[in-house]
Structure 1
Amino acid sequence: MPEPTARLLGASQVRELADRLGIRPTKQWGQNFVVDGNTVERIVRVAGVGPNDVVAEVGPGLGSLTLALLPAVRTVIALEVDPVLAAALPDTVGARAPDLAERLLVVHADALQVHTLPGPAPTALVANLPYNVSVPVVLRFLELFPTIERILVMVQLEVAERLAARPGSKAYGVPSAKAAWYADVRLAGTVSRSIFWPVPNVDSGLVAFERRSAPETTVSRADVFACVDAAFAQRRKTLRAALATWAGSPAEAERVCRAAGIDPTLRGERLDIHQFAALAEARGR
């Protein structure tokens, strides 16, 4: 049985495996493979997953993070869009961690297209997400899989800061507000670009999500999200102007704001998700 650290993929093993599979990382699928064992062990540690967890992993690639997750959790459900990588992952795990192979379920699918997952219900999402789909993947999994209690994702640092941003900050926007509907979100660390192959042009960040109850409201999530989208579509405008089309007119937007107890001269970047819910409720009154 391999020692725990011997299971992990280092830089030479990643390149050797990629060469053997004929893999050339593509921008289309945002492929940047982790080549540092310390980083994947850190991700598992910060994620706080344990032996009872069923972890969904999006974009496992060559298996760097998968091999670190398997010893720590009950099951890893790995979703991979690249058919070559999806087919190769069970062989990699079988060769490097044969005692853990039964814990792995591989799904060849686009994470933005799946509606269900095989096996037991996921309790966590832990992933090194392709930069180009990171926000929609996180929001989709929070929506589709209410059993997911925790998320720890590695994403482009700018995206990480945006997801974890608080009202009033420069980075606060649509992703921040929508993520806050589902969970408490925090920036859990930064990661150097040097741990990837190929090396990207940006550093990465770790974002942690702890699911909590959605805001209490009489309207749907879709209604609240439509208000969020309208408020940030014209970010520099006041709510009275930015919400005019959504509400029906500038005067109606002002009425809705006042009915919700919100100053119509504020901008959307000042509002938290509870205030957006109050606006969506007030529009219906």
Structure 2
Amino acid sequence: MAQLLGPAEIRGLAAELDVQPTKKLGQNFVHDPNTVRRIVELSGVGAEDTVLEVGPGLGSLTLGLLASGAHVVAVEIDPVLATRLPVTVRERAPEAAARLTVLERDALRLAPGELPAPPTTLVANLPYNIAVPVVLHLLAELPSLSRALVMVQTEVADRMAAGPGSRIYGVPSVKLAWYGKARKVAPVPRAVFWPVPNVDSALVSFERAARPDTAADRAAVFAVVDAAFAQRRKTLRAALASWAGSAERAGAVLQAAGVDPRARGEQITVADFARIAERQRSNA
């Protein structure tokens, strides 16, 4: 049975490695075993899963995931932490060491060919400044990922899970909806981290679903999304003027797609954005 890391072990490892957690890398290490167990339980992973963990840090969550019986592929950008993680696992969960693969990589540049097996689940305590780009990149590059549970800043969690009509519905909400359904699951107390962050955190779950039924590709749909929210206070007719070539052209495309030109981006669904992209493509 894996021996999970507590506050004393986390601080001891950090001292041994001379690790000073940095804001640049978003390093706030979880030191509460009960929080780790809860994350693993909520993720639903088991022996049949290959889990992709981004930013394993000192290994708190890694040990919990291995205790579930899953295979874990841990992607760590910090070479010192990447080198130490297999040692920590051998020391605290020797029976699970063979189920761990550590890749010293930038998750934003991770490609399928670098992984030993197609991962089924993403579970991670993500650096707040790159959380959404990382999730979107991995969902695009790794179609085998059918679900995810990520810990992010609360405000980011709210935006990821927001639906049309919400004040915080925006680019992250729509682009995640292209791949499936995101849902805010639970708050995470600041006190479970070292160092204690100055922001609140929350868990977001994700389930992949069929993409919208459209002939437009992802890049085309995302271009419409970016344009619509670049000037979110404007109507879609005005916001999409540059994208379409003119306000008149944008209005015609929106009407052809069955979307009110007076609507704003935060009022429409990912399926609506897909229809807009498809109509522009068919009339180009």
Q: Please tell me the TM-score bracket, short chain as reference.
A: over 0.9
Secondary structure of the corresponding residue to residue 108 of structure 2: coil
* 1:158-203 per-position Cα deviation (integer Å, ceiling 9, x unaligned): 0000000000101100000000000111001111111100111111
Q: Secondary structure at the match of 1:70?
A: helix
Deviation of the 1:92 alpha carbon? 0.3
Instruction: Give 1:28-177 correspondences, 5 Å limit.
Output: 28-116=24-112, 117-177=114-174
Helix, strand or coil for the counterpart of 1:218?
coil
Paired with 1:156 and 1:105, the residues of 2 have a C-alpha distance of 27
CA positional deviation for 1:96: 0.4
Equivalent residue for 2:213?
A: 216
1-side partners of 2:235 and 2:70: how far apart? 49
How many aligned positions are there?
A: 281
Q: How does 1:191-202 map to 2 (within 5 A)?
A: 191-202=188-199
Gaps in structure 1 of 5+ consecutive residues: none
Q: Distance in 2 between matches of 1:223 and 1:77?
A: 32
2:45–2:70 contact (8 Å) kept in structure 1: no
User: Does residue 265 in structure 1 map to residue 267 in structure 2?
Assistant: no
Quote the residue 1:17 is aligned against. Answer: 13
What code does the residue aligned with 1:97 have? A
* Cα distance between partner residues in 2 of 1:258 and 1:82: 50
* CA apart distance, 1:113: 1.3
Q: Secondary structure at the match of 2:109?
A: coil
Tell me the equivalent position of 2:178. Answer: 181
1:275 maps to what in 2?
A: 272
Q: Counterpart of 1:88 in structure 2: which amino acid?
A: R
Rounded Cα–Cα distance in structure 1 between residues aligned with 2:187 and 2:57: 21
Distance of 2:99 and 2:150 partners within structure 1: 21
**1:121 partner SS:** coil
Q: How much has 1:74 moved relative to structure 2?
A: 2.9
CA distance in 2 between counterparts of 1:114 and 1:278 reads 31
CA distance in 2, matches of 1:229, 1:269: 12
Superposition deviation, residue 260 in structure 1? 0.7
Q: Distance in 2 between matches of 1:121 and 1:240?
A: 42
- 1: CA distance between counterparts of 2:163 and 2:44? 23
Check the 8 A contact 1:54/1:73 in 2, yes or no: no
Q: Which amino acid aligns with 2:97?
A: A
Opposite residue 55 of structure 1, the aligned amino acid is: V
Alpha-carbon distance between aligned partners in 2 of 1:171 and 1:205, rounded to the nearest angstrom:
16
User: Could you say which residue in structure 1 is the equivalent of 2:22?
Assistant: 26
Secondary structure at 1:282 match in 2? helix
Distance of 1:247 and 1:239 partners within structure 2: 11
- 1:199, 1:177 → 2: CA distance? 31
Q: Percent identity?
A: 58
Gaps of 5+ in 2: none
1:73, CA displacement in angstroms?
A: 3.6
1:232-247 map, 5 Å: 232-247=229-244
Give secondary structure in 2 for the equivalent of 1:236. coil
Following TM superposition, where does structure 1 have runs of at least 4 consecutive aligned residues deviating by more than 4 angstroms? none
SS of the residue corresponding to residue 39 of structure 2 reads: helix
- Pairing 1:228–2:210 present: no
1:27 positional shift:
1.1
CA distance in 2, matches of 1:107, 1:29: 16
TM-score norm. by structure 1 comes to 0.97
Read off the aligned partner of 1:202 and give its amino acid letter: V
> Which whole-Å CA distance do the structure 1 matches of 2:144 and 2:109 have between them?
19
How far is the alpha carbon of 1:118 from its aligned partner? Answer: 2.5
Q: Residue 190 of structure 1 contacts residue 205 of structure 1 at CA under 8 Å; is this kept in 2?
A: yes
CA contact (8 A) 1:55 1:73 kept: no
Retained in 2: the 8 A contact 1:55–1:124?
yes
